[in-house]
A and B are shown apart, each in its own frame.
Chain A
Amino acid sequence: MGRKLLLEHINVPGINTFDVYRSKGGYRSVEKALKQLSPEEVVEEVKKSGLRGRGGAGFPTGMKWGFLAKPEGVARYLVCNADESEPGTFKDRYLMTYIPHLLIEGMIVGSYALGAKTSYIYVRGEMMPQIRILEKAIAEARAAGFLGKNILGTGYDLELYVQPGGGAYICGEETALLESLEGKRGNPRIKPPFPAIAGLYGCPTVVNNVESIAAVVPIINDGGEEYAKLGIGRSTGTKLISAGGNLAKPGVYEIDLGLPVEEFLYSDEYCGGIANGKRLKAVVAGGSSVPILPANLFLKTAAGEGRLMSYESLSEGGFATGTMMGSGGFIAFDEDQCIVRNTWNFARFYHHESCGQCSPCREGTGWMEKVLHRLEMGHGTMSDMDLLVDVSKKIEGNTICPLGDAAAWPVASAIRHFRDEFEWHVSHASEAVTRNYGLAHYANPLPKPEPAAS
């Protein structure tokens, strides 16, 4: 069993309260950072840890912190991105619900490292219960002297606030999030300037995912080098995986990066195999926007090597035969699922969530949704697949923010790997609306059938 860094105490009764959390060694990293380390040394530890942004992009957190501009007399901000809305991802909700103080602790250390006097946690509006949980946790931390003026007598002041969003996927993009936090529509900004130079209110700002900020706590407690010993290669540490879809045991799992995919999927310690004894058809490994892979390519790379849960191994083979780690939103599809219907569903999602700023995304996502809808409903033509690939290519890379790419990849990859299923929807149109295509050759070699979940 891998070592738990974030979820070690998740099952302790009352861990959501300050007293229990503190009794389990909580807020040690705040004491260590504020009393023993300079802000630069904290940043240095995070750099040494090799921690990569857990929101999806995988950009090294320490490097991001290092880029922050520090002009004299200008406020700096740390903003936590808790606008978790990538389909398939629910780890941040889990973390904030059950162990909110871990995030607060990370925010204090991070704010100290960056020299921020005011920090915000931007939580998606639908998570009102989590917002109340965080506000209570902040009040407890403040009462214990970990927030407010002169924290622990070190002279460092910090105010921490929770900001609700309004229900927009695009606000998970960091500049759209900042716009939203300023009370505007969530339209992503043109970069440069990057938030590290001009972010919230035009001031230097760092935006980090909930899990990235939480990971700072064990990094400071044990040291960056210790953290970097976990994991594999440039994928250091542990990662929360949100496992959903047709799994026997869906849920949030903390894994050491580098865990074999097959073990994660089939061992009882993790997902426990596919629900109801069915067979695996396909997997979306890192949230809806990463390319979908058929079972055979997911379990083994094109070269025949067993795949690992790491940034590098999942992207082995590029987009031709690989995928991405993304946000760790792991969605498993069993043999009864229809890839065309699911691709249509995802295309509808991106059409709905496109902010409308860039024409390729605004028009292209709607176009793809329409074409996929007619394919699913049995009105498609054989040229539709090429049309979809063509539209997706024209969106990809031609938009201000990555939502365009995120909308293009699932469609392009579904056609790349499941073209015969799409063609079957055209050639057997009347049949396709009453039954699904099934497993076909996608799971060749077939994964071993699993006993039915009891």
Chain B
Amino acid sequence: MLRVENTELVPVEFSTALTNQFADIVSRYPEGKQKSALLPILHLVQAEFGWVSARAMDKVAEYLSIQPVEVYEVATFYTMYFMRPQGKYALEVCRTGPCCLVGAEKIMDHIEQRLGVKEGEVTADGLFSWRGVECLAACGFGPVLQIGPEYTFYEKLTNQSVDQLIEDLKAKANN
């Protein structure tokens, strides 16, 4: 299922602004428990680079003074971390029961057709990718989708509102 991409050639540098944020997170935990910062730091890395590469994970391990495998095993366990590059806007549609009762499957079909790429693939212009995800805890407002890294939420989707959203994002990207 999840696979760590071979990206040895992609260099990864963490800016000072980013490592300052890391340090702030590490300060929340008792002395010697800096590994607790791993999940929040991986979120920051993904927000910065769009996904979590093997090189980035190695750097995180170095920063937290833990073994690289401790980062790999965590990053591959949790579904929010992308192990390969995504579109600039990664649409994540809830595909679990309550949302399906109100039409999530049709919304996913529509997105697939509208973007012209299958689940997990990236559009040629690099702007979009999409996938179905499990329950997003918004069952009363379904169908729903979210877009990282802010995880903005779009509720009560219809084919029209999805089209509008895609157009808005295209316009935003071109500005």
CB of B165 closer than 8 Å to a CB of A = no
A164-B43, A166-B80, A183-B37 known; A90 vs B151 contact (CB < 8 Å): no
Would you call A169 and B134 a contact (CB within 8 A)?
A: yes
Would you call A245 and B139 a contact (CB within 8 A)?
A: yes
- A interface bracket (residues with beta carbon within 8 Å of B): 35 or more
CB of B146 closer than 8 Å to a CB of A = yes
Contacts of B37 in A (CB 8 A): 183
Q: Which of B38, B64, B98, B138 has the most CB of A within 10 A?
A: B98
Would you call B137 and A124 a contact (CB within 8 A)?
A: yes
CB of B116 closer than 8 Å to a CB of A = no
Q: CB < 8 Å: which of A159, A185, A329, A355 contacts B139?
A: A329
CB of B126 closer than 8 Å to a CB of A = no
CB of A404 closer than 8 Å to a CB of B = no
Contacts of B142 in A (CB 8 A): 244
CB of A346 closer than 8 Å to a CB of B = yes
Q: Closest residue of chain B to A130, judged by CB?
A: B151
Q: Closest residue of chain A to B39, judged by CB?
A: A166
What are the 5 tightest A-B residue pairs by CB atom distance, in nearest-first order?
Answer: A166-B78, A244-B139, A167-B80, A183-B38, A183-B35
Per-position binary interface string of chain A over residues 326-361, scored 1 when its CB falls under 8 Å from any chain B CB and 0 otherwise: 000101010001000110011001001101000000
Q: CB < 8 Å: which of A118, A129, A288 contacts B153?
A: A129
Q: Determine the distance from Cα of A89 to Cα of B98 in the docked complex, in whole angstroms.
A: 10
Per-position binary interface string of chain A over residues 178-189, scored 1 when its CB falls under 8 Å from any chain B CB and 0 otherwise: 001111111000
B residues near A, CB below 8 A? 28, 30, 33, 35-40, 42-43, 64, 70, 73-74, 77-81, 95-98, 100-102, 133-142, 146, 148-153
Q: Determine the distance from Cα of A3 to Cα of B106 in the docked complex, in whole angstroms.
A: 40
Mostly, the B contact residues are mixed
How far in angstroms is the closest Cβ of chain A from B28?
Answer: 4
Q: Determine the distance from Cα of A75 to Cα of B42 in the docked complex, in whole angstroms.
A: 27
Q: CB < 8 Å: which of B28, B43, B137, B151 contacts A129?
A: B151
Query: Given A167-B81, A345-B95, A349-B97, 11 more contacts at CB 8 Å?
Result: A86-B135, A93-B137, A93-B138, A127-B151, A165-B78, A167-B133, A184-B35, A251-B140, A342-B97, A349-B135, A353-B134
Q: Which of B37, B64, B97, B146 has the most CB of A within 10 A?
A: B97
How far in angstroms is the closest Cβ of chain A from B13?
Answer: 23
Q: Closest residue of chain B to A186, judged by CB?
A: B77
Q: Which of B42, B138, B150 has the most CB of A within 10 A?
A: B138
Contacts of A84 in B (CB 8 A): 137
Contacts of B79 in A (CB 8 A): 166-168
Q: Determine the distance from Cα of A285 to Cα of B6 in the docked complex, in whole angstroms.
A: 46
Would you call A250 and B36 a contact (CB within 8 A)?
A: no
Q: Determine the distance from Cα of A245 to Cα of B149 in the docked complex, in whole angstroms.
A: 28
Q: Closest residue of chain A to B104, judged by CB?
A: A345
Q: Determine the distance from Cα of A246 to Cα of B102 in the docked complex, in whole angstroms.
A: 7
Q: Determine the distance from Cα of A93 to Cα of B136 in the docked complex, in whole angstroms.
A: 10
Q: Which of B73, B102, B151, B152 has the most CB of A within 10 A?
A: B151
Q: Which of B74, B78, B81 has the most CB of A within 10 A?
A: B78
Contacts of A331 in B (CB 8 A): 97-98, 101, 139
Q: CB < 8 Å: which of A168, A243, A245, A246 contacts B77?
A: A168
How far in angstroms is the closest Cβ of chain B from A161?
Answer: 4
A128-B151, A165-B78, A186-B77 known; A242 vs B139 contact (CB < 8 Å): yes
Q: Determine the distance from Cα of A84 to Cα of B64 in the docked complex, in whole angstroms.
A: 28
How far in angstroms is the closest Cβ of chain A from B48?
Answer: 15
Would you call B140 and A252 a contact (CB within 8 A)?
A: yes
Q: Determine the distance from Cα of A92 to Cα of B79 in the docked complex, in whole angstroms.
A: 21
Q: Determine the distance from Cα of A185 to Cα of B142 in the docked complex, in whole angstroms.
A: 29
Q: CB < 8 Å: which of B80, B96, B102, B152 contacts A349?
A: B96
CB of A126 closer than 8 Å to a CB of B = yes
CB of A59 closer than 8 Å to a CB of B = no
Contacts of A352 in B (CB 8 A): 134
CB of A399 closer than 8 Å to a CB of B = no
Q: Closest residue of chain A to B43, judged by CB?
A: A164
How far in angstroms is the closest Cβ of chain A from B25?
Answer: 9
How far in angstroms is the closest Cβ of chain A from B122?
Answer: 20
Contacts of A242 in B (CB 8 A): 139-140
Within 8 A of B (CB), among A105-152: 118, 124-129
Contacts of B140 in A (CB 8 A): 90, 242-244, 250-252
Q: Determine the distance from Cα of A418 to Cα of B145 in the docked complex, in whole angstroms.
A: 31
Q: Which of B43, B77, B100, B151 has the most CB of A within 10 A?
A: B77
Contacts of B134 in A (CB 8 A): 85, 87, 169, 349, 352-353
Q: Determine the distance from Cα of A341 to Cα of B79 in the docked complex, in whole angstroms.
A: 24
Contacts of A185 in B (CB 8 A): 73-74, 77
Would you call B80 and A250 a contact (CB within 8 A)?
A: no
Q: Determine the distance from Cα of A128 to Cα of B136 in the docked complex, in whole angstroms.
A: 12
8 A-B pairs whose Cβ atoms sit less than 8 Å apart in the complex: A90-B141, A118-B30, A127-B137, A161-B28, A166-B81, A244-B98, A329-B139, A341-B100
